[in-house]
């Protein structure tokens, strides 16, 4: 496909994906907040209301109620929440397809990690997405019963995430590994809605309409899955944004960094969930969760700090002609006369001078360029750029 059209597809799909994801996560956060902020009604309670919440928003007052078991009747317009989730997955998968799967050799494959063929790389992405869903389903089925075995299930799910991150980091380029790990978790979030939460709710509605007693199991399963979804949310959002940050996705300890940020995200979410209960006096202040996540993030800043490349021992010069040779061999196919990705062109001395800081940042500090090190640039060649930049980026 024409790269121009591909760029449009990328733009429109990304826009759509962010919008529907906001709608999904917004609704999901709202219901988690609602659930943990409900207070028992005062006085007589003939309708068996388990909890209620008064809220004011957008110039009006709202009164939400949750029933313990079956409500006396269901309104004619029962609202379901599922399109937000399905649309997020569909647009996300389409975006993955037009950016990563369409162009596996630029985005998915890093020859220094593994030299897959294009077909193999695409096949592996699909296999990992499906495989994670199956492993997760097996864990939920066998590791513990919903309601009583939630902790065991959560521990196994955490282990599965750790293993998946390890696997992707050892399969794909850094940025693809982060994205695919996020996509694996996001796929589980949507299959939870598609295969468990919504069908369970349909069964509940059907038995209510038939006047039967409510079976609590679909409710318990749905609750367990939505709790997982809540704690997946911030880790997944980070994974989706991470490909802007080469200093993490290209880092030699990227697996650890990915897991630490995901852990911090889950703890931040936990802090907010517990805070609702704290406000109602049901729990101590959850500040330790926030403190732990901030501690993790600070330790990451220290851990991921770039080490300056050694330029001393290596016999490299920072001569312009050497820099130009490096550009010729490693950069101009994507930033030359024919193609200028990200509007960066590096085939003249003026352009080299203009982009000197960005080149140093991308090549030496982040090692994000050449993209996925496709052209197998050596450390010696990176050192040439470092010496050139540090001596003031001379243009003659």
- Scanning 115-123, 148-156, 252-260, 337-345 for contacts with ligand HEC by CB under 6 A, the matching segment is 337-345
Binding test (CB under 6 A) with ligand HEC, winner from 189, 240, 273, 334:
334
- Scanning 66-74, 109-117, 205-213, 325-333 for contacts with ligand HEC by CB under 6 A, the matching segment is 325-333
Smaller CB distance to ligand HEC: residue 143 or 341? 341
| Closest to 74 measured CA to CA, from 263, 198, 207 | 207
Smaller CB distance to ligand HEC: residue 246 or 265? 246
Smaller CB distance to ligand HEC: residue 134 or 357? 357
Task: Examine residue 320 and tell whether it contacts ligand HEC (CB under 6 A).
Answer: no
- Scanning 148-156, 161-169, 213-221, 358-366 for contacts with ligand HEC by CB under 6 A, the matching segment is 358-366
Smaller CB distance to ligand HEC: residue 96 or 221? 96
357-364's contacts with Cβ under 8 Å and 24+ in sequence apart are 357/389, 359/385, 359/389, 360/385, 360/386, 360/389, 362/246, 364/309, 364/389
**Cα dihedral angle (26, 201, 39, 229), rounded to 10 degrees?**
-40
Binding test (CB under 6 A) with ligand HEC, winner from 96, 204, 331, 393:
331
Smaller CB distance to ligand HEC: residue 285 or 342? 342
Task: Examine residue 201 and tell whether it contacts ligand HEC (CB under 6 A).
Answer: no
Angstrom distance (rounded) from CA 81 to CA 147: 23
CB 261 within 8 A of CB 59: no
Task: Examine residue 375 and tell whether it contacts ligand HEC (CB under 6 A).
Answer: yes
Binding test (CB under 6 A) with ligand HEC, winner from 11, 134, 358, 395:
358
Task: Examine residue 374 and tell whether it contacts ligand HEC (CB under 6 A).
Answer: yes
Angstrom distance (rounded) from CA 40 to CA 115: 60
**Cα dihedral angle (85, 90, 94, 97), rounded to 10 degrees?**
90
Task: Examine residue 330 and tell whether it contacts ligand HEC (CB under 6 A).
Answer: yes
Smaller CB distance to ligand HEC: residue 233 or 249? 249
Q: Minimum distance between the CB of residue 128 and ligand HEC, rounded to whole angstroms?
A: 22
Smaller CB distance to ligand HEC: residue 27 or 339? 339
Task: Examine residue 355 and tell whether it contacts ligand HEC (CB under 6 A).
Answer: yes
Task: Examine residue 370 and tell whether it contacts ligand HEC (CB under 6 A).
Answer: yes
Q: Minimum distance between the CB of residue 373 and ligand HEC, rounded to whole angstroms?
A: 9
CB 182 within 8 A of CB 235: yes
Q: Minimum distance between the CB of residue 250 and ligand HEC, rounded to whole angstroms?
A: 11
Smaller CB distance to ligand HEC: residue 273 or 393? 393
CB 322 within 8 A of CB 316: yes
Work out the burial of residue 198: count CB atoms within 10 Å of its CB; fewer than 13 is exposed, 13-18 middle, 19 or more buried.
Answer: middle
Contacts of residue 41, defined as CB under 8 A and 6 or more positions apart, other chains included, come to: 49, 51, 52, 65
Please list every residue from 96 through 115 that binds ligand HEC, using CB under 6 A: 106
Task: Examine residue 345 and tell whether it contacts ligand HEC (CB under 6 A).
Answer: no
Distances from the Cα of 81 to the Cα of 28, 34, 181, 336, 348, angstroms: 9, 15, 25, 49, 55
Cis peptide before 370 (omega within 30 of 0): yes
| Closest to 121 measured CA to CA, from 107, 131, 134 | 107
| Closest to 248 measured CA to CA, from 358, 169, 180 | 169
Task: Examine residue 335 and tell whether it contacts ligand HEC (CB under 6 A).
Answer: yes
Binding test (CB under 6 A) with ligand HEC, winner from 96, 139, 165, 371:
371
Chain residues binding ligand HEC by CB under 6 A are 106, 330-331, 333-335, 341-342, 344, 346, 355, 358-359, 362-363, 369-371, 374-375, 377
């Amino acid at each position: 496909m024409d790269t121009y059209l591909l760029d449009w597809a990328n733009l429109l799909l990304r826009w759509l994906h962010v919008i529907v994801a906001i709608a999904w996560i917004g609704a999901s956060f709202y219901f988690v907040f609602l659930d943990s902020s409900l207070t028992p009604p005062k006085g007589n309670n003939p309708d068996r209301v388990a909890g209620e919440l008064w809220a004011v928003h957008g110039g009006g007052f709202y009164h939400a109620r949750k029933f313990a078991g079956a409500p006396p009747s269901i309104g004619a317009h029962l609202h379901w929440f599922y399109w937000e989730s399905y649309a997020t997955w569909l647009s996300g998968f389409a975006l993955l397809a037009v950016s990563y799967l369409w162009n596996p050799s630029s985005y998915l494959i890093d020859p220094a990690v593994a030299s897959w063929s294009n077909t193999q790389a695409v096949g592996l992405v699909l296999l990992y997405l499906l495989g994670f869903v199956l492993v997760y389903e097996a864990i939920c089925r066998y590791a513990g019963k919903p309601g009583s075995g939630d902790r065991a299930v959560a521990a196994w799910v955490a282990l599965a995430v750790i293993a998946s991150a390890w696997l992707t980091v050892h399969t794909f380029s850094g940025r693809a590994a982060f994205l695919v790990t996020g996509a694996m978790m996001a796929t589980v979030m949507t299959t939870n809605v598609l295969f468990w939460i919504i069908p369970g709710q349909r069964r509940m509605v059907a038995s209510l309409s038939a006047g039967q007693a409510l079976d609590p199991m679909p409710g318990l399963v749905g609750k367990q899955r939505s709790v997982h979804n809540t704690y997946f949310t911030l880790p997944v959002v980070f994974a989706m944004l991470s490909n802007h940050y080469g200093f993490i996705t290209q880092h030699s300890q990227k697996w650890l960094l990915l897991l630490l940020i995901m852990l911090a995200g889950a703890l931040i979410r936990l802090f907010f969930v517990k805070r609702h209960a704290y406000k109602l006096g049901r729990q101590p202040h959850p500040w330790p969760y926030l403190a732990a996540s901030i501690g993790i993030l600070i330790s990451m800043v220290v851990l991921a700090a770039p080490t300056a490349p050694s330029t001393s021992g290596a016999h490299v010069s920072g001569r312009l002609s050497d820099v130009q040779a490096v550009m010729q061999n490693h950069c101009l196919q994507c930033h030359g006369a024919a193609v200028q990705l990200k509007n960066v062109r590096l085939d003249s001395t003026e352009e080299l001078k203009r982009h000197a800081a960005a080149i140093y940042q991308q090549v030496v500090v982040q090692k994000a360029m050449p993209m996925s090190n496709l052209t197998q640039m050596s450390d010696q060649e990176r050192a040439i750029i470092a010496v050139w930049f540090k001596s003031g980026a001379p243009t003659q």
